[in-house]
Amino acid sequence: MDQAPELTLGYIAYLNCVPFFHHLKDNGFHGRFITGVPSALNQMLQQGQLDVSPSSSFEYARNWEKYLLLPGHSISSVGKVESVLLFSSVGLRQLSGHTIAITGESATSINLLRVILREFYQLHDVDDRVPEESIELLIEAGQPALLIGDRALHLACNLPPGVQVFDLGDIWYRHTGLPFVFALWMIDRNALDLHSSALAELGEQLLQSRQQLIGNPYLHATVIAKKVGLNTETIVDYWNTIDYRLEKEHLRGLQLFFQLCEKYQLLEGQPELNFLD
C-alpha cells in the first residue's frame, strides 16, 4: 500500500509563531514545513499548496468556504500586541489626508488599520499604499507607516526621534473591550481525506509545544535573541503578551471585525466559522 503523503504545514518565521513550532516535532508531528510571510502563506493555502497553516483571519473571511478552523488556537491580543504598529510623527486624529505606507506581508493588519481609522476616528480620507522604498526609511523621514512582526519589534526598540507608536491591538481593545484575532489555524478542506488522523492530532501537538516553550521561556529566548538581534527580556515579554487561545471572547472579537470590514466594504458578506470536528 502506498504511504500517505506528509501533512504540509505553513510556517511563519516570526517570533510570535515560535511557541507553536519550537517543540512541535518533539510532540509527534511528522509533516513538512513551508516557510513564508502571512500574505504568501494565505495565497498558498488558497491555492491548495498547503494543508494547514496559521493564516490571516482576513483570509479566512475572504475564502471561508475553502477552510475549516482548528479549534482552540490563534494568534491574538487582549490589549497591546507589540508587533502590529503604526508609526507616525503626528497623532492619529491628525492623519486626515495622509497616505500611510503599509506592508505587503499581511492582510489582517492592513484591514484592521482601515477599520480603526474609519470606525473609531471617523477618518475616511486616509489612503494607504505598499511602497517600493524601505518602510523603515520612510518612517525616519516622517511618513506614517504600518509595520508588523519582527520588523515592528525592532523599530519600536530603536525609535527615530519624533516618531510616535500606536499599537493596533491596544486601540482595538480600548474601543471594543474584546480580543483581536490576527491569525487562525486554517485547514484546506481538501486535505481532510488524506490527513484526517494527522489533523486530529495537530491541536494537541500545538498545545504541548506552546506549553513547553512558555514553561521555560528564558532558555529559548536566550538562544533566539542572538539570531534576531533583540534582547532576551523583550522576547519573553512579547511571548507573554501574545494570546494563543481561541475562546468565545476571541470569536466575538473576530465576528465584530468581520462586521466592520463588511460595513466599510472591505469584505462582501459575513463568513461562517466552521471548525474541524
| Average pLDDT score over residue span 120-127 | 97
The larger pLDDT score, comparing residue 114 to residue 37, is at 114
pLDDT at 7 over 50: yes
Query: Distance between CA 75 and CA 69 in Å, rounded?
Result: 13
Predicted confidence (pLDDT) per residue in 196-254, tens digit:
999 999 999 999 999 999 899 999 999 999 889 999 999 999 999 999 999 999 999 99
Question: Under 8 Å CB-to-CB from 27, ≥6 apart: which residues?
Answer: 204, 205, 208, 209, 212
- CATH top class, domain 8-76+180-231: alpha beta
Using an 8 Å Cβ cutoff, are 107 and 274 in contact?
Answer: no
Predicted confidence (pLDDT) per residue in 142-178, tens digit:
999 999 999 999 999 999 999 999 999 999 999 999 9
First to last CA, the chain: 28
Count CB neighbours of 216 within 10 A.
9
Phi/psi for 84 (5° steps) reads -130, 95
| Average pLDDT score over residue span 23-27 | 94
Task: Calculate the average pLDDT of the chain.
Answer: 95
Query: Distance between CA 88 and CA 1 in Å, rounded?
Result: 60
Give the pLDDT score at 247: 98
Using an 8 Å Cβ cutoff, are 100 and 144 in contact?
Answer: yes
Question: Under 8 Å CB-to-CB from 240, ≥6 apart: which residues?
Answer: 214, 217
pLDDT at 1 over 70: no
Count CB neighbours of 237 within 10 A.
13
Give the pLDDT score at 3: 61
Predicted confidence (pLDDT) per residue in 62-116, tens digit:
999 999 999 999 999 999 999 999 999 999 999 999 999 999 888 999 999 999 9
Least confident of 1-15, 40-54, 74-88, 153-167: 1-15
